[in-house]
């Protein structure tokens, strides 16, 4: 049997066009990841989008020692908010952190690690995030290309189940939703 790649869900093209409007600005790759902490309260922070793993799955990188890693170990459901200001558009992506089998995870972490710049890698050479600052602790500015993949480099692969767009350009504003469960059919909503 021949395997055909899954077609792209319709929101992928809209998201790409909105990101294109940001040009080369790094902000086009910044998104906000919301998680639920173990005490049931919300957490949100900015992360860099690291690429599409599948038509409806994206990759983020973080530190396995960080608070969000613990949140996700307790609750795999996430929401991502991706604001593309030049397109005056907000995309909200809901899904679950997907666990990869150890071999795949190893390969994918290695691939992402090699794609980082020396300064991009550096933060994984820093001490445990979120704990009190210790005088004299090392904070390298760069890690070389041949640096081994740190154990605490955590790949977050988010498998998306729902995407919602709010576009402020037209009057009235345009809001719609797509759900994986309905084959990503577009559902227009009141803004
Ligand atoms: C523009 C920007 C990009 C960031 N990118 C990442 C990233 O890709 N991965 C990451 O773990 N933290 C990134 N951070 C830091 C996070 O926002 C956050 O402060 C850190 O991961 C600790 O979060 P936590 O304590 O909720 O786990 C970025 C921060 C900013 C301002």
Per-residue HEC secondary structure of 27-77 comes to HHHEEEEEEECCCCCEEEEEEEEEEEEECCEEEEEEECCCHHHHHHHHCCE
Gap between the Cα atoms of 96 and 72, Å rounded? 9
Q: What's the full length of the chain, in residues? A: 191
pLDDT for residue 2: 53
The fraction of the chain above a pLDDT of 70, given in percent, is 98
| Per-domain residue ranges of the chain | 10-124+140-189
**Ligand 1: distance of its center to the CA of 152 in Å?**
14
Q: Which residues of the chain have pLDDT under 50?
A: none
Using CB distances shorter than 6 Å, the residues near ligand 1 are: 30, 43, 45-48, 61-63, 66-68, 129-130
Pocket test for ligand 1, best of 25, 44, 45, 126 (most atoms within 8 A of CB): 45
Ligand 1 atom with least separation from CA of 26 = 1
pLDDT for residue 5: 73
Q: What are residue 36's DSSP bridge partners?
A: 42
**Ligand 1: distance of its center to the CA of 136 in Å?**
23
Tell me the fold of 10-124+140-189. Answer: Pnp Oxidase; Chain A (2.30.110)
Residue 95's nearest CA partner among 59, 43, 48, 47 is: 59
- Asked if 152 and 63 count as a contact pair (C-beta separation under 8 A), the reply is yes
């Amino acid at each position: 049997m021949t395997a055909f790649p899954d077609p792209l869900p319709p929101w992928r093209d809209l998201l790409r066009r909105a990101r294109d409007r940001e040009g080369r600005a790094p902000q086009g790759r910044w998104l906000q990841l919301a998680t639920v902490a173990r005490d049931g309260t919300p957490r949100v922070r900015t992360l860099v989008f690291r690429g599409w793993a599948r038509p409806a799955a994206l990759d983020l990188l973080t530190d396995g020692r960080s608070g969000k890693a613990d949140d996700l170990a307790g609750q795999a459901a996430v929401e991502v908010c991706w604001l593309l200001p030049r397109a005056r558009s907000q995309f909200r992506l809901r899904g679950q952190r997907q666990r990869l089998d150890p071999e795949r995870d190893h390969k994918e972490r290695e691939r992402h690690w090699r794609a980082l710049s020396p300064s991009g890698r550096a933060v994984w050479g820093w001490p445990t995030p979120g704990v009190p600052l210790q005088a004299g602790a090392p904070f390298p500015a760069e890690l070389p290309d041949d640096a081994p993949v740190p154990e605490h480099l955590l790949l977050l692969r988010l498998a998306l189940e729902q995407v919602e767009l709010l576009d402020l350009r037209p009057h009235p504003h345009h809001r719609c939703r797509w759900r994986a469960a309905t084959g990503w059919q577009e559902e227009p909503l009141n803004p």
